[in-house]
Amino acid sequence: MTNSPKPVYPVIWHNDAASLIDQTRLPNEYSFVEISRSEDMARAIKTMIVRGAPAIGVAAAYGMYLGAREIETSNRDEFLQQLEKVAQLLRSTRPTAVNLFWAINRMMRTAYESIGTVAEIRQTLLQTAQALNAEDLQTCQAIGDRGLTALPSTPDKLTLLTHCNAGALATAGYGTALGVVRSAWREGRLEKVFADETRPRLQGAKLTAWECVQEGIPVTLITDNMAAHCMQQGLIHAVVVGADRIAANGDTANKIGTYSLAIVAKAHQVPFFVAAPLSTIDFELSDGSQIPIEERNPEEIYQVGETILTPTGVEFYNPAFDVTPAELITGIITENGVFAPGELAKSQKIVS
């Protein structure tokens, strides 16, 4: 086993198309889907071929360029009007992760602010999507390294617990919560990572475990209901999770199950960190009650592969995210430093 990273990039632009790792097929199959139309990009986001807050932002940015390429007018106003429709389609894919809206808005702003012909605006849009992709990668590396300063100083080698997948697959690469894990591993500060399997879609079991194995990071998989027991046994030194949207007061939406994990961590005095880029903070929302929570198909609960788990006549409720109140969060690790949830407003001036 070596410490040398094997980079994973879920969204790559090449041959004039976006190439996405098909995350619905991992870990059994490592394959790519080529996307060259905006409609297909919207479908890929909705069906979670690409998922994770920053990664869907990057994918949507390329989707905006693909849409711009499909618009057959050289009239600037008409072009912008039709581009708004592409933006609308991409915005309708998933409601919770604010990075999606942030990226689309940035692309729209770029189009409005670009002077020149429609052909030139299209070119600027591609450059902006590529820049956003590259920036997210750098941002995640910075988050990982900043996170090191927030982790407990003892013991020398830590055992961290994470939920869902906030790794390279969920970003442009490297990851947020898993970025902290990666940096800790690189610096010799990590004993191992515990990964929650993360029902119902099992992103922890399928994706986080896969990423760790690729890189030789020791990973122990547990089911979601084992976290309290592990903490009671003193097995966990800190929890690090990602975020889909953070309200101005620090309340944080992340994968369903994050909230109960935070309660359990508080009960056992285990520090609980959220790792996210500044683009995940939504200063327009004063608190977490305003964050829209995606509800997904009940099939995700009652069916595993071809197997139906439940009797007929049962009702289902499948919220994909929950909101962890700020008071349960020890610190929010961003690319610009670690903030107490109540201090997030201080970072507002540096959010672009």
Binding site for ligand MRU (CB under 6 A): 51-54, 97, 164, 166, 170-171, 176, 203, 242-244, 254-255, 320
The least CB distance from residue 257 to ligand MRU, in Å, is: 9
295: three-class secondary structure by DSSP: strand
Q: How far is CA 151 from CA 107, 144, 161, 177, in A?
A: 35, 11, 12, 12
The least CB distance from residue 15 to ligand MRU, in Å, is: 26
Among residues 18 and 246, whose Cβ is nearest to ligand MRU? 246
The least CB distance from residue 268 to ligand MRU, in Å, is: 21
Buried-exposed string 279-288: b where 16+ CB fall within 10 A, e elsewhere? bbbbeebeeb
336: three-class secondary structure by DSSP: coil
Catalytic choice (196, 244, 251, 282) = 244
Among residues 79 and 259, whose Cβ is nearest to ligand MRU? 259
Among residues 57 and 67, whose Cβ is nearest to ligand MRU? 57
DSSP tag of 204: I
Position with the least CB separation from ligand MRU: 242
The least CB distance from residue 198 to ligand MRU, in Å, is: 8
Cα(227)–Cα(230) distance, integer angstroms: 5
The least CB distance from residue 238 to ligand MRU, in Å, is: 16
Structure tokens at 268: 């056992």
User: Which residues contact residue 198 at a Cβ distance below 8 angstroms, ignoring those fewer than 6 apart?
Assistant: 163, 164, 165, 204, 205, 208, 224, 255, 257
- The answer to whether the CB of 272 falls within 8 A of the CB of 330 is yes
- The answer to whether the CB of 56 falls within 8 A of the CB of 85 is no
- The answer to whether the CB of 114 falls within 8 A of the CB of 120 is yes
Any catalytic annotation for residue 282? no
What is the set of active-site residues? 244
